[in-house]
Structure formats: C-alpha cells, structure tokens
C-alpha cells in the first residue's frame, strides 16, 4: 500500500487485515497539551499558527511524541476556504471564529472568487509538505475540509450560531441563492483537497459539523448532495496509492445509509449512535470511525478502559473500524487519561483481529 512504517489507519479505512484497531483523536493537536499552549502563547493569534508552516508542522507532530497514535492530522482550520474567498476570518477570544465580511445577499456570492490552493491557500500546502518531511513516513497524515453546508453556515451567520436563523431563512426564502453558494463551495473544496493530496496527504476527511441541524429532506438537498459532488471531484489516488475519504457527520446518525452512498470510504460517527447498529445498517460498504464520548476522558483509568472495551465489543471482530472520539477532545482533559485511552484501544482490540 504505502511505504509508511505504521499504516494501520489506512488499512482500516480500506478494510484490510490488522493486528489491532488504529486510533487517533479529533483535535489531538490542541489546548489539552501544555506544549501546544506554550507555542500558542508565543505565536499570538490562531491564524498566525496556521499560516506558519514550521509551527503548523510542529503542532501536528506534538501529540505523536507523547502518544502512539496511528495517524497525524494537519494543524489547520476548516474556515481557511472562506477566508481565502475574502470574508476576513478572525478569532475573538471566548467567542470563536468571526468573519469581517459575511455573506448577506446574492451579490456577495456572485463576487466570490474561487481561491487557487497554491496561491491564496499556499500556506496550507506548505504546511503539508513540511509535515510530511518531518514525519519521515512514520504514520499517515490526514487532510480535511469542512463540508459545503458547514462552511456556508459560518459564511452566512458570520461565525458560530445557536439557531442558524440567517442561513435557514435564506434556505426557505431564496433556495436558489443558497444553492449557488454551495455549488461554488463544492468546486472549491474538491480543488482544495486535491491540492492537499498532491502535497502529500494520505487520507482526507470532510467535516459535516452542522448537517445535523437540517430536516431529512433538507439534509439531502443542501448537505448530502454537495458532499457527493465534492467526492466526485476528488482524485483519490496519488503516487500509486489510494487516498481514502471519510465523511464525519455530527448528529446525522439517521442518514448514515445515504452518506455511505456518496462514494466515501468511511463514516465518522458522533457518540449518539451505537456503533453495532451503524455497522448493521451500512454493512461492508464503508468503514466506521468513532465513537467514544469525549467526556469519558474525564473519568478514572478503569472507567476509560471499560468504555473502550464496550465500543470494541459492539463493533466486534474484523477490520473496518478506526477508533476515535465522537467529536473533538475537550481542552481541560488530562494528557495522562489520553494515554490510558490510546493504550487501551491498542491492547484490548487485539483479540478482535486474531480470527
């Protein structure tokens, strides 16, 4: 498959045989690590970290120095694309991401230019190339983007939202206008992820963080069909190696059969669905990533191990499972508990790969 020293993650995505279940963590490069906080305090604002190839690479690799993780995920952000489209991304302390120039009407969408990944987003490609060099073929490097719908929510709401009233108003009053934006985003995301693949990424994830706020009909119309378009536009092979694609869909457990039909290789689950039920519903069509509640990592080691064991038992024998949290790790989790979690996955999963 690859020349990587540890390719468990890729093998699981492609449902090949394994010695144990691979594990990685959403936001594994983050505030729960003191070494991350040290660099963050020196670098200033968040986007300065993302736009510095050396710092981005360092933060990507930091968790691998502490833990025997089976994959690295690029230190970046899903909102790099809207920023490159001219919306002016910034981060306000305690409030999350904000845009200086949010989308307010069709005219704003008409004037959006599709960014060139090796121009406006070259800093991401530089970070990938630097990280691949620094990883020295130890583990796969994951690249990612937000889904078209998820990016659109931030672009129209102007940042994070509780009720998503602006984008839902547009969806119900001017659906053609929203579709125009989603089409532009789909084309841009495919181009962006293809550039990541060419730069050295081994696998990509599409984060559909906010698809779960939609009704079933609107999920198909405004989220699912555009992720399908993104995947249709991907070049899922590089240097003779397959590049697997994962869709992570938060609060979208009711639609996993439909997600499995997009052409993705794996579905990432949050913790609101039982992994054995998901496995029955999608069969052997796709691999499954997930899905421990991040809050379990507050527990004592014995309870953490028990929760890991429960999910492994629910998935059962065989490959096609990538163990991860059902969403990002909380910033006040103890790194010692993370170590317990990762070791438990590797240790307790061996029995499920011995038959």
Annotate 185-245 with three-state secondary structure.
HHHHHHHHHHHHHHHCCCEEEEEECCHHHCCHHHHHHHHHHHHHHHHHCCCCEECCEECCE
Catalytic (active site) residue 192: no
Q: What is the largest CA-CA distance in the chain?
A: 60
pLDDT digits (tens, 9 = 90+) for 54-85: 999 999 999 999 999 999 999 999 999 999 99
pLDDT at 3: 87
pLDDT average, residue stretch 282-294 = 95
pLDDT band at residue 2 under the 50/70/90 scheme: low
- The annotation places the binding site for substrate at 27-31, 77, 154, 209, 327
* In-domain check, residue 185: yes
Nearest alpha-carbon partner for 246 in 304, 290, 211, 283 = 290
* In-domain check, residue 41: yes
Q: Which of 70, 77, 208, 270 is labelled catalytic?
A: 77
pLDDT average, residue stretch 286-305 = 97
**How many domains is the chain partitioned into structurally?**
1
Q: Residue 288 — φ and ψ, nearest 5°?
A: -125, 135
* In-domain check, residue 238: yes
Question: In the predicted model, is pLDDT for residue 150 greater than 80?
Answer: yes
pLDDT at 75: 96
Catalytic (active site) residue 77: yes
In CATH, what number is assigned to the domain containing residue 120?
3.20.20.210
For residue 73, the enclosing domain spans 33-287
Question: In the predicted model, is pLDDT for residue 7 greater than 90?
Answer: yes
pLDDT band at residue 45 under the 50/70/90 scheme: confident
- Which residue matches tokens 């981060």? 91
pLDDT digits (tens, 9 = 90+) for 91-141: 876 668 899 999 999 999 999 989 999 999 999 999 999 999 999 999 999
Question: In the predicted model, is pLDDT for residue 355 greater than 80?
Answer: no
Residue 329 and residue 22 in contact, taking contact as beta carbons nearer than 8 Å: no
* In-domain check, residue 242: yes
pLDDT at 92: 73
pLDDT band at residue 235 under the 50/70/90 scheme: very high
The region of weakest confidence among 170-174, 222-226, 249-253 is 249-253
Average pLDDT, the chain: 95
DSSP reduced 3-state for 285: coil
Q: Which two tokens stand for residue 116?
A: 């060139």
- The annotation places the binding site at 27-31, 77, 154, 209, 327
Q: Which of 9, 32, 36, 154 is labelled catalytic?
A: 154
* In-domain check, residue 323: no
pLDDT at 40: 86
Question: In the predicted model, is pLDDT for residue 279 greater than 60?
Answer: yes
* In-domain check, residue 187: yes
Catalytic (active site) residue 137: no
Q: Which two tokens stand for residue 168?
A: 């839902």
Catalytic (active site) residue 154: yes
Note if the pTM is more than 0.85: yes
Residue 293 and residue 308 in contact, taking contact as beta carbons nearer than 8 Å: no
Q: Which of 8, 11, 40, 305 is labelled catalytic?
A: 40
Residue 319 and residue 70 in contact, taking contact as beta carbons nearer than 8 Å: no
* In-domain check, residue 283: yes
* In-domain check, residue 299: no
Question: In the predicted model, is pLDDT for residue 44 greater than 80?
Answer: no
Nearest alpha-carbon partner for 282 in 255, 249, 260, 265 = 260
């Amino acid at each position: 498959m690859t020349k990587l020293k540890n390719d468990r993650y890729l093998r699981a995505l492609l449902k090949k045989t394994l010695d144990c279940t691979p594990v990685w963590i959403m936001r594994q490069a983050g505030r729960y690590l003191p070494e991350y906080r040290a660099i963050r305090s020196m670098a200033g604002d968040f986007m300065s970290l993302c736009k510095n190839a050396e710092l981005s690479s360092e933060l990507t690799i930091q968790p691998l120095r502490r833990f025997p993780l089976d994959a690295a995920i690029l230190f970046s952000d899903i909102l790099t694309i809207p920023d490159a489209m001219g919306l002016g991304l910034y981060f306000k302390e305690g409030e999350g991401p904000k845009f200086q120039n949010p989308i307010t009407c069709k005219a704003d969408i008409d004037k959006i230019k599709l960014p060139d990944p090796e121009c406006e987003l070259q800093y991401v490609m530089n970070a990938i190339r630097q990280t691949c060099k620094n990883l020295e073929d130890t583990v796969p490097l994951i690249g990612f983007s937000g889904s078209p719908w998820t990016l659109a929510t931030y672009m129209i709401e102007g940042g994070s939202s509780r009720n998503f009233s602006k984008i839902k108003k547009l969806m119900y009053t001017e659906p053609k206008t929203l579709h125009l934006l989603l089409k532009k985003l789909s084309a841009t995301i495919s181009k962006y992820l293809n550039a990541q693949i060419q730069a050295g990424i081994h696998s990509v994830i599409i984060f559909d963080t906010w698809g779960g706020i939609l009704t079933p009909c609107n999920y198909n119309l405004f989220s699912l069909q555009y992720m399908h378009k993104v995947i249709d536009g991907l070049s899922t092979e590089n240097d003779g190696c397959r590049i697997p694609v994962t869709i992570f869909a938060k609060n979208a457990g009711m639609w996993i059969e439909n997600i499995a039909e997009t052409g993705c290789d794996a579905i990432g689950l949050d913790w609101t669905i039982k992994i054995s039920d998901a496995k029955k519903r999608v069969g052997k069509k796709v691999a499954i990533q997930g899905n421990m509640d991040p809050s379990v990592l507050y527990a004592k080691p014995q309870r953490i191990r028990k929760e890991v064991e429960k999910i492994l038992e629910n998935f059962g024998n065989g490959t096609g499972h990538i163990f991860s949290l059902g969403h990002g790790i909380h910033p006040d989790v103890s790194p010692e508990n993370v170590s317990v979690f990762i070791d438990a996955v590797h240790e307790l999963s061996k029995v499920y790969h011995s038959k």
